[in-house]
Amino acid sequence: MSTKDKTEEAVVSEETKVNEKEASTVNEIKEETKDPLAILKADLEKEKDRNLRLFAEFENFKKRTARERIDLFKTAGQGVIESILPVLDDFDRALNELNKTGDESHLKGIELISNKLREALKSKGLEVVETKQGDVFNADNHEAVTQIPAPNKKLKGKIIDVIEKGYAIGDKIIRYPKVVIGQ
């Protein structure tokens, strides 16, 4: 950098400082000529607005945390319930096999245990996602395992068989029903 450039830069810097000092002096003069009461009122309004915004933000925070807490309580046991779902499937298979054999004493015992388990889970919010043959396939509510040729035109694009039941806790589906759909 040449000496001339340094000098020009110093002059520009000095002019900037002078302009800033003049601007701040002008602002001070304007504020001094203002009514002190008007200044206090403006400050008061600014603080009232700030206080109102903070209060609204705090109220929103309280509502959001209350909603999150309710959701947490609703799905608190979801992991445990998900691990028990295969047991429910095993009960269904056992009941089907016992119905085929005709052994009434074993069938009644298994039914009692199965019903007790289902009622306990139902009291915790578990619900079966109702799906039956002939329902329209919806990718949002069903999991397609495979597609097979439809036995008739009415079942085309519809559920032909339910392989595994689906379950939900409240409005949240924790396991989608596994279905076979017709092509």
State the 10-residue block means of pLDDT for the chain, 183 residues long: 52 53 51 76 93 96 94 80 92 90 87 94 90 87 89 86 90 91 88
0.75 surpassed by pTM: no
Question: Residue 18 has what pLDDT?
Answer: 46
Which residues are 45's β-sheet partners? Answer: none
Token readout for 66 is 């209350």
Angle at 143 between CA 138 and CA 144, to 5 degrees: 90
Question: Residue 15 has what pLDDT?
Answer: 55
CB 178 within 8 A of CB 143: yes
Question: Residue 152 has what pLDDT?
Answer: 84
Residue type (1 letter), 55: F
Q: How many CB atoms lie within 10 A of CB 78?
A: 16
